[in-house]
């Protein structure tokens, strides 16, 4: 990736992100640490509550994170053999949806 001077860490379990005067430090569950000017971190929907963020989130950020509900979801996708050009309404356990 252009402009990135170090290896991008993927599939790394992050336990802490610390923002300080020198930049940002990220700590992984295996003890590895990285320091950088900034961090771009992609987390699964339920994971931000499991990461220590220092200094902690405040205001609307903290409220938004605390208010996130997480429910396991089971999805089924169908591909029709023949395209009829019409949508059908289906009922699922979660209510009406489009198939």
**pTM of the predicted protein model:** 0.60
Q: With contact defined as beta carbons under 8 Å apart, do 23 and 37 qualify?
A: yes
Q: What is the pLDDT of residue 94?
A: 52
Buried b (16+ CB within 10 A) or exposed e, 60-93: eeeeeeeeeeeeeeeeeeeeeeeeeeeeeeeeee
Q: What is the pLDDT of residue 99?
A: 43
Q: What is the pLDDT of residue 98?
A: 46
Q: What is the pLDDT of residue 84?
A: 67
What are the strands, taking DSSP E only, across 31-80? Answer: 33-36, 52-54
Q: What is the pLDDT of residue 31?
A: 94
Residues of the chain falling short of pLDDT 50: 95-99
């Amino acid at each position: 990736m252009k402009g990135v001077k170090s290896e991008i860490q993927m599939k790394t379990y992050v336990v802490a992100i610390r923002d300080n005067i020198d930049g940002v430090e990220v700590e992984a569950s295996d003890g590895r640490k990285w320091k950088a000017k900034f961090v771009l971190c992609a987390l699964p929907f339920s994971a931000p509550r499991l990461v220590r963020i220092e200094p902690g989130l405040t205001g609307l950020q903290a409220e938004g994170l605390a208010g996130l509900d997480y429910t396991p979801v089971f999805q089924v996708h169908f591909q029709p053999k023949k395209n009829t050009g019409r949508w059908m309404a289906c009922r699922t356990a979660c209510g009406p949806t489009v198939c």
